[in-house]
Amino acid sequence: MTNGNPQLPQMDQLLEELVLREASDLHLRVGEAPIYRIGGKLVRSEFPVMVEEDTKSLLYSIMSEEQQRRYEKDLELDFAFGLAGVARFRINIFRQRGYVGAIMRVIPLKIRTLEEWKLPLILKELSLLPRGLILITGPTGSGKSTTLAAMVEHINNNRRSHLITLEDPIEFLYKDNLAIIEQREVGSDTPSFASGLRHVMRQNPDVILVGEMRNYETMSLAIAAAETGHLVLATLHTTDAAQTVDRIINTYPQESQAQARVQLATVLQAVISQALLPALGTRKLVGAFEIMLGTPAVRSVIRDGKTPQIYSLIQTGSKFGMQSLDSALKELVTSGQVTLEDALAKSSNPAELETSISR
């Protein structure tokens, strides 16, 4: 399909620009020029303003006929799109004010290591655990998929294992090294995360990656998989460890919550909660990480339903490798990597963080 405006670039060029500008996202909507998110900030491009015909033409040019039918039926569509030699992109197409719109996120072709991403090195140890549940949490756009990809690649390079992913959509593409990796996409390879998890046990996995634990059924099946001796990696849209524990328990029926606490306390190895902040003086982003590990004390408070005590256990657990989000944010401010304003915006207790930094 051609664009209504001959000055407007084709989709390939817009996506190439997304990578060249070191942007994380591209926003397309009727009545606006294409907008890039660079270093966490939205920047309007110099391209022409898009009319309805332009926007629909651009987006339909990268959708298959089946995807077009699904979008027109559901008015929402998530899929991944690859541009040879450039990158892959996670694409969400939606309706707003009666018009089609989209947000596109870059997925690099090369999967970087934990060191290259400057991720907490304790993730190396966690990745190679034989069993249990590891949760990567944070709001949308906080880099959870990137962290998981680096962990999967560490497993791939260091452990002879059978690893199965359940994703919606498939983002990073892995090549087998020591591990055998099978990637299953919700919608095309399995009807849902829960359905995929129900059948995955018959596929002889050592490691299972669940792209997102969205509901009670998925959460209970993921915990059951961890109970039966598998390493399960999963994500949740929660901002810290205590909130993550409560979110999981609260999805269970009231009468099952006590048993769920016992199960979760038994299998939970770690909760890594992350946030991304603009790095000073660059177009890049820097991560801040809260690290909670499944120590005996942490397991005890989860089992007893005393999750508010998790905060103090993290603060006093540095000898085990634990770290609060605020201590990570403080380190980024005092080392000159981010502004105080950006750190306070990500903190769950900004007044306390500001006091701590001013000391």
pLDDT band at 8 (very low <50, low <70, confident <90, very high): confident
**163 and 201 together in one domain:** yes
pLDDT of residue 187: 87
CATH number at residue 213: 3.40.50.300
pLDDT at 68: 96
User: How far apart are the C-alpha atoms of 307 and 311, rounded to whole Å?
Assistant: 8
50: DSSP letter? P
- Indicate whether 197 belongs to any domain: yes
What tokens appear for 86 in the block?
A: 């450039």
Q: Are residues 160 and 82 in the same domain?
A: no
Question: What pLDDT is recorded for position 157?
Answer: 97
Specify the CATH number for the domain of residue 32. Answer: 3.30.450.90
CB 137 within 8 A of CB 244: yes
Entry pTM: 0.91
289-301 pLDDT, tens digit per residue, is 999 999 999 999 9
d(CA 327, CA 353): 8
Residues 222 and 146 placed together within one structural domain of the fold: yes
Last residue of one domain, picked from the residues 80, 107, 134:
107
Whether 303 is covered by a domain: the verdict is yes
Q: How far apart are CA 341 and CA 334, in angstroms?
A: 13
Categorize the per-residue pLDDT at 95 as very low, low, confident or very high, splitting at 50, 70 and 90.
very high
Position 180 scores a pLDDT of: 98
Mean pLDDT for 70-91 is: 94
- Check whether residue 96 and residue 139 sit in a common domain: no
How do residues 262-294 score in pLDDT, each as one tens digit? 999 999 999 999 999 999 988 889 999 999 999
Q: Are 136 and 40 contained in the same domain?
A: no
Q: Are residues 32 and 163 in the same domain?
A: no
Instruction: Supply the pLDDT for residue 1.
Output: 37
Is the model's pLDDT at 331 over the cut of 60?
A: yes
Structural domain includes residue 154: yes
pLDDT tens-digit map of 192-242: 999 999 999 889 999 999 999 989 999 999 999 999 999 999 999 999 999
Which of 81, 107, 133 terminates a domain? The answer is: 107
Q: What is the mean pLDDT of residues 89-99?
A: 95
Q: What is the pLDDT of residue 2?
A: 41
Q: Is 113 a domain residue?
A: no
**Residue ranges with strand state E in the chain:** 23-28, 35-38, 41-44, 76-83, 87-96, 99-107, 132-137, 162-167, 180-185, 207-210, 231-236, 268-278, 285-293
Question: Is 329 part of any domain?
Answer: yes
Q: How far apart (Å, rounded) are the C-alpha atoms in residues 49 and 33? A: 4
Question: Tokens 């030699």 correspond to what residue?
Answer: 85
Same domain for 78 and 126: no
Domain count, the chain: 2
271 in the same domain as 152: yes
Pair 180, 328 in one domain: yes
Provide the domain limits for residue 62. Answer: 11-107
229 near 254, Cβ under 8 Å?
Answer: no
Q: What is the mean pLDDT of residues 33-47?
A: 94
Residue 76 falls inside a structural domain: yes
The verdict on 30 and 172 lying in the same domain is no
SS3 content of the chain, % helix, strand, coil (to 5): 40, 25, 35
At residue 100, the pLDDT reads 95
Residue 57 is given by DSSP the state H
Percentage, residues of the chain above pLDDT 70: 98
Alpha-carbon distance 237 to 311, whole Å? 18
Domain-terminating residue out of 78, 107, 136: 107
Average pLDDT, whole number, for the chain? 94
The pLDDT confidence band at residue 5, using thresholds 50, 70 and 90, is low
Residue 357 reports pLDDT greater than 80? yes
Task: Based on the fold, state whether residues 96 and 127 are members of the same structural domain.
Answer: no
Q: What mean pLDDT is predicted for residues 150-161?
A: 98
In a domain, 209, yes or no: yes
Q: Strands 99-107, 23-28: parallel, antiparallel or unpaired by DSSP?
A: antiparallel
State yes or no: pLDDT of 113 exceeds 50. Answer: yes
Instruction: Confirm whether 191 is domain-assigned.
Output: yes
**Rounded distance between C-alpha atoms, residue 7 and residue 10, angstroms:** 9
Whole-angstrom Cα distance, residue 245 to residue 268? 10
Q: Do 216 and 345 belong to one domain?
A: yes
Rounded distance between C-alpha atoms, residue 108 and residue 288, angstroms: 21
